[in-house]
Every structure is written in structure tokens, then in C-alpha cells.
Amino acid sequence: MRMAGSQLAPVVLLVVVLIAGMTSVEGQAQPLTDQDGHRPALALRPIVTAGLVQPLYLTHAGDGSGRLFVVEQGGRIRVLAHELLQPAPFLDLSDRVLAGGERGLLGLAFHPDFARNGRLFVSYTRQPDGATVVAEYRRDSKIDQVGRQERVLMALAQPFANHNGGMIAFGPDGALYIGRGDGGGRGDPDHRAQNPDDLLGKILRLEVDGGEPYAIPVDNPYVSGGGRPEIYAIGFRNPWRFSFDRKSGVLWVGDVGQHAWEEVDAVVRGGNYGWRLMEGRHCFLPKTDCDGSGLQLPVLEYGHEAGRCSITGGYVYRGQIQAALKDVYVYGDYCTGEIMGARVEGGAYSGVAEGAQVLFRSGLRISSFGEDQEGELYVVDHGGGIYRVESGR
């Protein structure tokens, strides 16, 4: 995520390249029309427009309660019950969180069996040193709030204040996935993203149901050597938001660019996504004649023209309200507030990304998208709002 000014312009299309030897799903992205030839017509229905302070993320607990949980950058997790913001926080870590700029309480993931075991995980930059922490907390079922006792899984020093990543989510395999930025500075000065012995600039994958403080999945790519065993994929600048497609299981990552290009990656185990050798599909260092062999190139990219500056990764729509959004990966730009989409059939991410289009010009500072338990989509406005994506027809 990056702070900047805003203007509006259409999205840039690109050809998707699939590197030999990488796992993929065959097929092509398709134009954004439904069976009647209609493009999605979106509307954003306000759910909360007051009472939240710099919200960064929204999710559900998978417990059938219908509640939504909103992460505030300053360190609180707030509860939406029946679309009403509850006065008491679910968890308040304000005294432990170093917030401001790209720092703060950055991620939240409920254990797949949360309804029974009450376990949840958070990602934050800690006071006073700004190290990025992933920690476990547990709900007190008697008062339906989270206790203060913390079990730290991982604390990672950050050389700079920016590019902390911070997204965490459980995959369909039950493992916990963690997004790590390259540690900050301009141009990854310490070349961390391509270093398999460094956890920065990576997607990590851990088992939290065994081992202390965690266990390593047996099929992680470096489990037998050659790099840190926690690593799932390498070569990211700042994977701010990612998600798993509920239907296909594909891991979609929005990786924030630097000078010119924002990208969406369909991430596979052991993949190398190019940074700092490449920014998007373009040479970065060196500026020309870079060797892209062995890299997994982006599924989508867009440029920084007309005020765009920072991608906010989203979700493949699997809800029921918007038939025209079925199989569409919905994402946005923080600076312009544009909501964009590209259709992917059956989890496919090869072929030409036709129809990667601007769906809605929201004017919001889109810090995240979110899903409820039924797969309906929400937009999180860093300025303090939560909006539900609905049909504009």
C-alpha cells in the first residue's frame, strides 16, 4: 500500500505468459459479460461510514455468526454484527502496535476450526522497533472477546519502515500463508526478494497445528535445502493483499510496484515472481536485456498513468448477488479508487487477459477488499468506511 494523489484512467491490458514447468490451470480469461451480454454494473452500499479509524482489512470467522471483523491500522479489531459497528473491540493491541505510514495492525486470519477452538492469528509491526510479528490469540468464549495472552510464531526485523506486507490467510490446505514485503527502501537495495535465505520479499507457508512455534509443510519448496524452509514462493516487492479462490484454490496476489507497474500474480509453490529483476513484465534492474528465464510473470498489470499508484489485491467473486461477476477477479487501486476486474474461468490464468476493465470509480482509498462467509464482497476505505458490492442495475 502507498499513499498518493488520485485521477482516473482506463486499465492497461497485457498478455499472460506461462513459464514451462510451472503448475497451471488451462484456459483463458474472458470478457466481462454475463450470458445475456451484460457487463457487471456495480454499486457500493454503505455499511459503516463513521466510527472506524483507518480500517485496513475485513474478514469473517467462518463460525456461522454472520459477523464481520474489521482491522484498524492503529491496533484494534472491530466487530460488525447485523451491519452495526459494535462499541467494544474484539481485540485491542494498540499498546503493542507501531502504527503510521505502512506500519500497523496489518492482517487477521481465523483458524479454519475457530468455531470450536477459538484460535486466531494477527500480523502487526510491533513497538518499539517495527519488527513484523505473526502471533496467535485465543477467544474467551465466556465473554466472546479475545484474551491478551500472545503466542508469537515469528518476529522478523525490518530494515526500513515500508514494504511490510502483512497479509495472512489460511489456504484450502489448512496451512497459514504470510505475505512479506522486501523490507523497504527503493529498489530492494539489499536484494532480499531474490535471496532464498531471507524471508523478506516472499510468500511463506506454515503449519500451525503442530510444532513450536510452528511446523514446516513437508512439500514446501526449500524443505530439503537451498533456502529457508518456510518459503512458498519468492520475488515479491510488497504483496499487500492476497486471497484464495474458493472454487479453484488458486492463490491470487496483488504485488505493489515501484516506479511504473502494478501486478497480479497467480502464485504456485516454488514460483519466482521476478522482483527486483523485473517490475511487472518489464525489466527493472538492469533496465534492459534482463534475463526472465525461470520467472513466473504476472497475470495482469497496469501502469501508473493518471494517478494510479498502488494495487489492492482482491477476490474471485463466488457470491450470489452479482451474476455478471461470477468468475471475475475483482481488485483495485488505492490512489484512484478504481475497482477493476478480469474474468478467469475455472481458475484459469493462461491466455490473454481480455476484459481487464474498470468496473467502478469509487473515489475511495481502497485499502482492502473482503469477503463474508457467503462469498459476498466488501470494499474497505482507509478513510473510515465499509461498503458492500451490489448490483447497480
Q: Which domain holds residue 41?
A: 29-391
CB neighbour class for 302 (10 Å; exposed up to 12, middle 13-18, buried from 19): buried
Whether 7 is covered by a domain: the verdict is no
Q: Which CATH number characterizes residue 217's domain?
A: 2.120.10.30
Q: How many CB atoms lie within 10 A of CB 289?
A: 6
Whether 12 is covered by a domain: the verdict is no
With residue 45 as reference, give the H or E element that holds it: strand 42-48
CA distance 97 to 366: 22
Whether 13 is covered by a domain: the verdict is no
Q: What total number of domains does the chain contain?
A: 1
Q: How many CB atoms lie within 10 A of CB 7?
A: 10
Which comes out higher in pLDDT, residue 287 or 9?
287
Q: How confident is the model at residue 24 (pLDDT cuts 50, 70, 90)?
A: very low
At residue 15, the pLDDT reads 26
Whether 16 is covered by a domain: the verdict is no
Whether 155 is covered by a domain: the verdict is yes
Q: How confident is the model at residue 128 (pLDDT cuts 50, 70, 90)?
A: very high
pTM of the model: 0.90
Render pLDDT for 262-298 as a digit per residue (tens, 0 to 9): 999 999 999 999 999 999 999 999 999 999 999 999 9
Whether 292 is covered by a domain: the verdict is yes
Q: How confident is the model at residue 42 (pLDDT cuts 50, 70, 90)?
A: confident
At residue 5, the pLDDT reads 32
Render pLDDT for 73-93 as a digit per residue (tens, 0 to 9): 999 999 999 999 999 999 999
- Counting Cα atoms < 13 Å in the Cβ hemisphere of 228 gives 21
At residue 40, the pLDDT reads 72
Render pLDDT for 333-348 as a digit per residue (tens, 0 to 9): 999 999 999 888 655 5
Q: How confident is the model at residue 350 (pLDDT cuts 50, 70, 90)?
A: very low
Q: pLDDT at residue 13 above 90?
A: no
Whether 54 is covered by a domain: the verdict is yes
Residue 142 is placed in which grid cell?
465466556
The overall average pLDDT reported for the chain is: 88
Whether 337 is covered by a domain: the verdict is yes
